[in-house]
Amino acid sequence: MKQFPADFWWGAATSGPQSEGRFAKKHANMFDYWYEVEPEAFYNQVGPDTASNFYNSFREDITLMKEIGLNSVRTSIQWTRLIDDLETNTVNQAAVDFYNQVIDCFIENGIRPIMNLHHFDLPVELYHKYGGWESRHVVDLYVGFAEQAFKHFGDRVKEWTTHNEPMVVVDGQYLYQFHYPKLVDGKKAVQVAYHLNLASAKAIAKYRELGLDKEGGRIGTVLNLTPTYSASEAPDDQEAARFAELWNNKMFLEPAIYGHFPAELENVLIRDKVIWEIAPEDAEVFKNNLVDFLGVNFYHPNRVKAPDIAPNSVGEWLPTRYYDHYDMPGRRMNIDKGWEIYPEAMYDIAINIRDNYKNIPWFVSENGMGVSREERFQDEVGQIQDDYRIDFIREHLEYLHKGIEEGSNCFGYHLWTPIDCWSWTNAYRNRYGFISNNIHTQMKTIKKSGEWFRAVAEQNGLT
Ligand code: BG6
């Protein structure tokens, strides 16, 4: 038996915009709007309107989550739902009532609610008016929203996270065109990365100013800590990996854990004339507002090699002038999603945090396997026999366990996701849940992996 530490979090993660549906929501976020103007950008033209209907069915959904043994669940509070006036940060009473009921329902069912504040779901008005995260003003508006969330729910929610995968906002909106408004603008990307970091530090400052840390609360952030592996030992590949690690991981990790940006990255950005604009007081804000814990989302490794082009041979500044993606021959693949499967990375992450990031308390805030057309794996009574998912989780847990045994301070594992949910442009293409969701009937059924996970949680370990 591979035993995990006492009080280990066995859980799963979702987000407000991906589970609730748009019901009774006053504002549109970036995705709500994008779907309104370009529905064909979404798989099968399925948008966020219903999602998994959590707004209406949260009691039944939480009962199912309890049934599969989850002791903790992360979701997010939607800025576009909680706040009525986005400039003055007045709250919407129906939203307060809704989130109160959700939080109470989790607690009544013995599930610890972890609340995130931003999961790619900026109110679109703030993008159209101010350029969204390009603007310092939006950082302050976000902190106002966070303050309202802390004040209304901080008595019962004891773990908060400021962002989910902020790097995806940088990548998707400003570099690689997979999220609205699909810009390609390296300079803006750099500024947005800075502001997202600043927003996190300022929200942490607000949390502590309200004294919630003194009442047993903790605040952290969720990063997609995708480890970088170099294609070879050759110096130029190693150099490429070094920059990829700085850009994709350290740009968020180091401010969160050390309170400043990596000097090496700043030097490159200065040399390339794309360095962010700052205010003199920011350095103190970063220094004084470190995270209490870290959430790590891990799906696949990032393999890189030296780029084919020389860095100075291209016009527009893009980080990929320093590295290219590398498809390792013979890699194991999840073909449906197109991601490499590499559970060993779980151990590497654990040791990296132990050795380079103060051995800070952390948890796996997302891990999972997206599979399409899962109905093909239904048995005669209609249960999805997702043995591939069980194998996937088991292998990742085994490597995680090895890291914990060697001293890494990991306190939990959350699968993406409890109930199949809507996922941005992929909508319902890739299913990740312990519980399936028929999007036509909203009928929810526990998969084989859900039953398996319950046993793991009960035993607090793997047999
Ligand atoms: C994670 C995100 O990166 O990937 C989730 O935090 C997302 O919000 C998940 O749903 C899966 O993405 P996809 O596109 O495969 O469904």
pLDDT tens digit sequence for 359-394 = 999 999 999 999 999 999 999 999 999 999 999 999
Tens of pLDDT, residue by residue over 180-220, are: 999 999 999 999 999 999 999 999 999 999 999 999 999 99
Round to whole Å and give the CA distance between 341 and 353. Answer: 21
Question: CA torsion, points 38, 42, 48, 50, in degrees to nearest 10?
Answer: 120
> Residue 313: is its pLDDT beyond 80?
no
User: Closest Cα to atom 16, ligand 1: which residue?
Assistant: 423
- The answer to whether the CB of 48 falls within 8 A of the CB of 35 is yes
Which one is catalytic: 134, 165, 254, 374? Answer: 165
Q: β-strand 2-3 against 461-462: which pairing, if any?
A: antiparallel
What residues line ligand 1, using a CB cutoff of 6 Å?
Answer: 15, 18, 164-165, 224, 297, 337, 366, 370, 416, 423-424, 426, 430
**CA 416 to ligand 1: nearest atom:** 9
Domains of the chain: 2-462 (3.20.20.80)
**CA 224 to ligand 1: nearest atom:** 3
Query: Cα–Cα–Cα angle for 209, 213, 218, nearest 5°?
Result: 120
87 catalytic? Reply is no
**CA 164 to ligand 1: nearest atom:** 6
- For the record, the structure tokens of 329 come out as 């021959």
Ligand 1 test: best mutation among 176, 389, 432, 437, most atoms within 8 Å of CB? Answer: 432
User: Closest Cα to atom 11, ligand 1: which residue?
Assistant: 423
- The answer to whether the CB of 99 falls within 8 A of the CB of 153 is yes
> Residue 311: is its pLDDT beyond 70?
no
Round to whole Å and give the CA distance between 23 and 284. Answer: 41
**CA 424 to ligand 1: nearest atom:** 14
Tens of pLDDT, residue by residue over 122-141, are: 999 999 999 999 999 999 99
Tell me, in angstroms, the distance from the centre of ligand 1 to residue 339's CA: 12
209 catalytic? Reply is no
> What is the pLDDT at residue 316?
85
Alpha helix (H) ranges present in 1-92?
16-19, 30-37, 54-67, 79-82
pTM of the full predicted structure?
Answer: 0.98
- The answer to whether the CB of 357 falls within 8 A of the CB of 366 is no
Tell me, in angstroms, the distance from the centre of ligand 1 to residue 363's CA: 17
User: Closest Cα to atom 10, ligand 1: which residue?
Assistant: 423
Q: Is the peptide bond before 14 cis (omega within 30 degrees of 0)?
A: no
* pLDDT range class, residue 315, cuts 50, 70, 90: confident
Q: DSSP of 328-356, one letter per residue?
A: -TT--EETTTTEE--THHHHHHHHHHHHH
